[in-house]
Amino acid sequence: MYRHETRLRVRYADTDQMGYVYYGNYSAYYEAARVESMRALGLSYKSMEEDGVIMPVMENWSKYHAPATYDEMLSVHAIIKTMPGVRIKFFYEIYNESDNLIHEGETTLVFVKKETGRPCKMPDQMREALAPFFPDEKTPG
Amino acid sequence: MYRHETRLRVRYADTDQMGYVYYGNYSAYYEAARVESMRALGLSYKSMEEDGVIMPVMENWSKYHAPATYDEMLSVHAIIKTMPGVRIKFFYEIYNESDNLIHEGETTLVFVKKETGRPCKMPDQMREALAPFFPDEKTPG
Amino acid sequence: MYRHETRLRVRYADTDQMGYVYYGNYSAYYEAARVESMRALGLSYKSMEEDGVIMPVMENWSKYHAPATYDEMLSVHAIIKTMPGVRIKFFYEIYNESDNLIHEGETTLVFVKKETGRPCKMPDQMREALAPFFPDEKTPG
Amino acid sequence: MYRHETRLRVRYADTDQMGYVYYGNYSAYYEAARVESMRALGLSYKSMEEDGVIMPVMENWSKYHAPATYDEMLSVHAIIKTMPGVRIKFFYEIYNESDNLIHEGETTLVFVKKETGRPCKMPDQMREALAPFFPDEKTPG
């Protein structure tokens, strides 16, 4: 398992007139947490895209336990539970400043060759960076 | 069952550098479809809020079959399959201009008294407007 | 002069916890009004981009006379006052449901060849579509 | 003069299909920089709002010298040039990772009593925090 924490400040732009973070804005929090979790492993989504692999989202799930509110410093955990293949699944846990779990989410993304639009295998560099966190899983060989 | 179709034009603001609608922006499409589906029954979410009932989102699920792209006129179907109680669940089907189903989603919202923050029953006006679409379901009485 | 009106419904996603439309969200309203004003002349920004010309924004100005609020049907006027050259300037006037002018804006965009990243002349098709609205301006040639 | 720098990472959510940050998304960058510039002085916009003073935007201006792109770590400078009265004007300068000035902006906000909706004077706590940066300006008294 791989877990990484990103801290994010809620902006006024993120709120709605209910005084909560608008339910659609958690997706950008997830994205920030995913990208930072990769960066912590020396991986850059930007470079991967420049190398011709994009990662469109296939499926997303969100559970709103309690609202996030303006100016809170959120702690967003991005978690990978199984070694990715042509798909990668991220789980999220969001904690507020009182360390309460206010939100959970899951996103499944797929590796796609930009040129062909076809699914492809996870880039080698990412496989190598993730492998130490999944010692019991055999890599295809 | 109740089903209502809303047509929406994809804005440049909705796209990302992949050339697709960003995955978090479907939530606003869902919202527009929900609100228009209620308006078609003579119901106003705005009035309901002014009457002290808000509808925060509890859970959301999205399945991205194919990307929506810039300037497409999307057809967003909002569907209610069972008579709501303290919760209301909307299903969505999004069709592109070629009439292909490109996206599915589900949102569960809860009726909450603004003043107390406590869950409450669906407002009477909404129950009455929805009842004809669920003839086999007994209303509490 | 060329003027075109687009009607837009304020979404919950557009509001912030002040209960107003967030000040950054007017840009997407401007964009929708620009695109519809062009479509009304038989012009498609999407096709123009596919033909290799993009229109990045150079400058933007917004004046907030009164807030726009949730669920209002806004009337967004996009106005071109002078025949565009390598730049095009749009003015906006936004009226609420009581027909009060609540907002004004201006955006200057530049025509750019996608391949070279260099400014270029307005596409011929657009010049021809706009010419009848600017009878006193000489076209170069 | 008061100047404060905030560093911000460009999210995928912020980009559009041109591969640039969408022109409307700079407003949220400005907001983050304003709030952090205040926090650096021990001021909290959130607390001010809880104390009954809101700060709606009256006017906004943006100049796009060069695009900001995905994953860049931007340096957003928020600058106050004159001691605020019932209005406060922020200037912004945005530098990219190569330290090039890519963007400038200005936002005028007004202090408003939430209860009455009427303009009011800048809260005392803010005046005291800002005063040392404007030694030549007489405070009303």
Mean pLDDT of chain C: 96
A70 to chain C: which residues are within 8 Å by CB? 17
Give C125→chain B minimum CA distance, Å.
19
- State pLDDT tens for residues C71-129: 999 999 999 999 999 999 999 999 999 999 999 999 999 999 999 999 999 999 999 99
Whole-number Å distance between alpha carbons of C51 and C123: 10
Residue of A nearest to B112 (CA): A18
Per the CB < 8 A criterion, the answer to whether C38 and C121 are in contact is: no
Amino acid identity of residue C34, one-letter, is R
- State pLDDT tens for residues D5-14: 999 999 999 9
* ipTM surpasses 0.90: yes
- State pLDDT tens for residues B102-140: 999 999 999 999 999 999 999 999 999 999 999 987 655
The residue count of chain B comes to 141
Please enumerate in sequence order all residues whose Cβ is within 8 A of that of B42, keeping only pairs 6 or more positions apart, or say none: B129
Put simply, whether B44 touches A (Cβ < 8 Å) is no
Quickly count: other Cβ atoms within 10 Å of residue B63's Cβ: 17
Q: Which chains touch C (3 or more CB pairs under 8 A)?
A: A, B, D
Per the CB < 8 A criterion, the answer to whether D125 and D109 are in contact is: no
Whole-number Å distance between alpha carbons of B83 and B75: 24
Whole-number Å distance between alpha carbons of C114 and D48: 46
Whole-number Å distance between alpha carbons of A113 and C74: 42
Number of B–C residue contacts, CB under 8 Å:
32
- Whether residue C138 is predicted with pLDDT greater than 70 in this model: the reply is no
Mean pLDDT of chain D: 96
Exposed e or buried b for every residue in A67-106, given b needs 16+ CB within 10 A?
bbbbbbebbbbbbbeebbeeebebbbbbbbeeeeebbbbb
B27 to chain D: which residues are within 8 Å by CB? none
Put simply, whether D27 touches A (Cβ < 8 Å) is yes
State whether B27 and C13 contact (CB < 8 Å).
Answer: yes
- State pLDDT tens for residues C19-28: 999 999 999 9
Give C35→chain B minimum CA distance, Å.
9
Mutating which of C17, C21, C23 best tests the A interface, going by the most A Cβ atoms within 10 A?
C17
Whole-number Å distance between alpha carbons of B123 and B51: 10
Reduced to 3 states (helix: H, G, I; strand: E, B; else coil), residue C55 is: coil
Tokens found for residue C85: 């050259």
Question: Which pLDDT score is estimated for A136?
Answer: 84
What is the DSSP code string of A75-131? EEEEEE-S--SSEEEEEEEEE-TT--EEEEEEEEEE-EETTT--B-PPPHHHHHHHG
Per the CB < 8 A criterion, the answer to whether C105 and C91 are in contact is: yes
* Dihedral sign computed on CA atoms, order A89, A95, A96, A97: negative
B20 to chain A: which residues are within 8 Å by CB? 56
Reduced to 3 states (helix: H, G, I; strand: E, B; else coil), residue C61 is: strand
Average pLDDT, integer, range D63-91: 97
Question: Which pLDDT score is estimated for B24?
Answer: 98
Q: Which chains touch A (3 or more CB pairs under 8 A)?
A: B, C, D
D22 to chain C: which residues are within 8 Å by CB? 27
Whole-number Å distance between alpha carbons of C10 and C13: 8
Helices (H), chain C: 26-39, 45-50, 124-130
B19 to chain D: which residues are within 8 Å by CB? 17
Instruction: Delimit the domains of chain C by residue range.
Output: 2-133
Question: Which pLDDT score is estimated for C136?
Answer: 84
- State pLDDT tens for residues B17-62: 999 999 999 999 999 999 999 999 999 999 999 999 999 999 999 9
- Whether residue A24 is predicted with pLDDT greater than 70 in this model: the reply is yes
Amino acid identity of residue A94, one-letter, is I
Whole-number Å distance between alpha carbons of D120 and B53: 32
Question: Which pLDDT score is estimated for C141?
Answer: 44
pTM: 0.96
Q: What is the pLDDT confidence band of residue B78, given thresholds at 50, 70 and 90?
A: very high
- Whether residue B141 is predicted with pLDDT greater than 70 in this model: the reply is no
Give D33→chain B minimum CA distance, Å.
22
Put simply, whether B10 touches D (Cβ < 8 Å) is no
- State pLDDT tens for residues A75-113: 999 999 999 999 999 999 999 999 999 999 999 999 999
Please enumerate in sequence order all residues whose Cβ is within 8 A of that of A127, keeping only pairs 6 or more positions apart, or say none: A139
Reduced to 3 states (helix: H, G, I; strand: E, B; else coil), residue B121 is: coil
B31 to chain C: which residues are within 8 Å by CB? 11-13
State whether B24 and A22 contact (CB < 8 Å).
Answer: no
What are the φ and ψ backbone dihedral angles of B92, each rounded to 5 degrees?
Answer: -130, 145
State whether B23 and A27 contact (CB < 8 Å).
Answer: yes
Whole-number Å distance between alpha carbons of A22 and B90: 17
- Whether residue D141 is predicted with pLDDT greater than 50 in this model: the reply is no
Mutating which of A14, A27, A35, A50 best tests the B interface, going by the most B Cβ atoms within 10 A?
A27
Question: Which pLDDT score is estimated for A140?
Answer: 54
The burial class, CB within 10 Å (0-12 / 13-18 / 19+), for D18 is: buried
CATH number of C2-133: 3.10.129.10
- State pLDDT tens for residues D25-40: 999 999 999 999 999 9
Angle at D63 between CA D18 and CA D110, to 5 degrees: 120
Whole-number Å distance between alpha carbons of D45 and D24: 22
Put simply, whether B71 touches C (Cβ < 8 Å) is yes
Residue of D nearest to A9 (CA): D32
Q: What share of chain C is helix, strand, coil (3-state, %, to 5)?
A: 25, 35, 40
